[in-house]
A and B are shown apart, each in its own frame.
Chain A
Amino acid sequence: MTRKALVVRLPFGLVLDTPVLSASGCYGAGLEGAAFGDLAALGALVTKTVTPRPRAGNPPPRIYETPCGMLNSIGLENPGVEAFLANDLQRALQQSRPLILNVGGESLEEYEAIVERVQGCGAVALEINLSCPNVQGGALPFSTDPAACELVVRRCRERSTLPFFVKLSPNVSTSLLLEVAAAAEAAGADGLTLINTLLGRAIDWRRRKPRLALGSGGLSGPAIKPVAIHCIASVRAKTRLPILGVGGAASAEDICEFLAAGADAVQVGTAQFRDPLAAVRLVQEVEDLLVGAETSASELTASTRAR
């Protein structure tokens, strides 16, 4: 049954039953979470980043808790696209939730290869991760340089009949973020995902050593929510592209705040670590909030477009 207050219709024809999605890197492909309960309420599952080749990931320690958040330096650990398609994808699709496949790489050629490889795989859309801070020493070459972003997105566009979102980094000035977002739009992105993690570091001063083996990592969790809201609102003022909001959303109030910033849908990430059913539980709570306020998800998002 479609719930009117929740349904999200995206311009390229994708309809989500609810604006509550799982965030990439925080829920695998939904297989582990499904052991705890029914995931049918989710708007879509966004998979952990899949790369052309298997990646072992970074050395441990990889995570460290910080106030209202956590640092991670996982390093895109994944089995590689061939193993993912052969093993995890089919099981993930059987959960009958729309699947948004997150893909990544380290070079132009890798992005081309992965986008080509996953065409027709059964996902309703792709999310192209241009902004993982835990590879290439946090260099973020494709999400801090508008020209590089435009080039990689154009190459992906040429190779993809699947609609795709481009996931951008907050580790830039607002003006540069707007330039990078405009470059992605000009090159043919169907939507944007805002934001990836913020670069951060924690130090064990007694041992004079960083808490993470590789030094710095990506900060996630409620601590970064105001940054995400700022980035989404700033980009929303300049584009009509669909935006998937992500960054610290953990409650129904948070989801509605993201929508009011201009996000079309909202991904729940770090909160899923606390409870495998966190996002699932939020679906009903968001509906109750929206109905109680006599509004809807699409109306909240549209209110920012009208400005």
Chain B
Amino acid sequence: MPQSCLHRVTENRALGGGSFVLRVAGPFEGVRAGQFCMLQSAELWLFLLPRPFSWFDVFEPGDTALRSDEATGAATFLGKVVGPGTARLAALEVGDELHVTGPLGRAWPSVEEGGPEPICIAGGVGLAPFLLWAKEGRAARKPVSLLYGGASAQALPAAGDFAATGADFHYATLDGSRGHRGSVLDLYRDLVGRGLLDGAAPVYCCGPDPMMEAVAAECRERGLRCVVSLETYMACGYGVCNGCTVEVRSAGRFAGRRYVKSCIEGPVFDSEELLWHASTAHG
């Protein structure tokens, strides 16, 4: 059963460039890689709606990574300050309370039986939904390949949190301050061209809309499946506000209608399902 209740902040780690990792005490149950939750600081709720965040990491009770004040488990959330709501979350202190509603939405699809492992492509804080995926990969399969891009090294936060997952990281920055100089899509083409990545593998992608759209276009040309995790404005996250609608190609919920709720049918979509310009006009 998803939950909606207060949790105690056990750490709030600033990563530079406005990014942060918020950590709260559990329990959290039934979270799958790619799902999200709604976060809200406890005392300002009259002023601000909750904000959707991917689950970054989840620790079950007994996990050796837990601290003494996290006997019931813990979870982390990777975010970036973009307005007053996220600024408030970034300013939370240890001992403050955070309202968490979730887990919500659909997870990354599981790997096809016998099929190639997906290549993960992330931009900025779009890295968030891939940590649990990488943990699952370490547990069940070979380590995941993760292409991680941003404007500069400072825009690539939190890769260190993947240390224990064995994920195979490849970096790209527009200014060349870390890894490949150029876009993460350039990096993908380069690695596939040199035979260092499986050019037949599906792609899972999360990042800014223009990046996801470009990756989706590349996959379409190559005949590859591309799965994206969208970020849309949401008021509720659990299916009642009807505010996070995206436009899809197939019939959708009602006969002849093409809108679906990103919080219920997403946030993970097959990119070919999406009508990109209609769905990503959020700026």
Interface flag for B235 (CB, 8 Å): yes
Task: Give the size category of B's interface with A.
Answer: 35 or more
A32–B49 CB distance below 8 A: no
A190 to B142, CA, bound (A): 66
Determine the distance from Cα of A110 to Cα of B241 in the docked complex, in whole angstroms: 24
Q: Which of B14-22, B116-124, B199-207, B252-260 contacts A (4 or more CB under 8 A)?
A: B252-260
**A62 interfacial contact with B, CB 8 Å:** yes
B47 touches A77 (CB 8 A): no
Check B45–A274 contact: CB distance below 8 A.
yes
Contact between chains at A77 and B242 (CB < 8 Å): yes
| A12 in the interface (beta carbon within 8 A) | no
A285 within 8 A of B: no
Interface size of A in residues (CB-CB distance below 8 Å): 40
Nearest to A275 among chain B residues (CB) is B4
Measured CB to CB, the closest approach of chain B to A59, in angstroms, equals 7
Please determine whether A32 and B240 come into contact, CB atoms closer than 8 angstroms.
Answer: yes
Given A61-B281, A61-B282, the answer on whether A72 and B101 have CB atoms closer than 8 Å is no
User: Known interface pairs A61-B282, A72-B243, A77-B242. Does A36 touch B4 (Cβ–Cβ under 8 Å)?
Assistant: yes
Shortest distance between the CB of B27 and any CB in chain A (Å): 15
Q: For A33, give its contact among B240, B245, B278, B279 (CB under 8 Å).
A: B240
B3 interface contact, C-beta 8 A? yes
Residues of B within 8 A of A11 (CB): none
Inter-subunit contact B255/A54 (CB<8 Å): yes
Assess the B242–A60 pair: CB atoms within 8 A.
no
Known contacts A60-B246, A207-B283, A250-B46; is A33 also within 8 Å of B238 by CB? yes
Whether B278 contacts A56 by the Cβ 8 Å rule is: no
Using A60-B232, A62-B245 as known contacts, say yes or no to A28 and B240 having CB atoms under 8 A apart.
yes
Q: Is B159 an interface residue (CB 8 A)?
A: no
Instruction: Give the distance to chain B from A61, nearest Cβ to Cβ, in Å.
Output: 6
Binding site for A on B (CB under 8 A): 1-4, 38, 40, 45-50, 85, 99, 101, 232-236, 238-247, 253-259, 278-279, 281-283
Listed in ascending order, the chain A residues whose CB lies under 8 Å from chain B are: 26-28, 32-33, 35-37, 48, 54, 56-57, 59-65, 67-68, 70, 72, 74, 77, 79-80, 83, 204, 207, 213, 222, 250, 270, 272-277
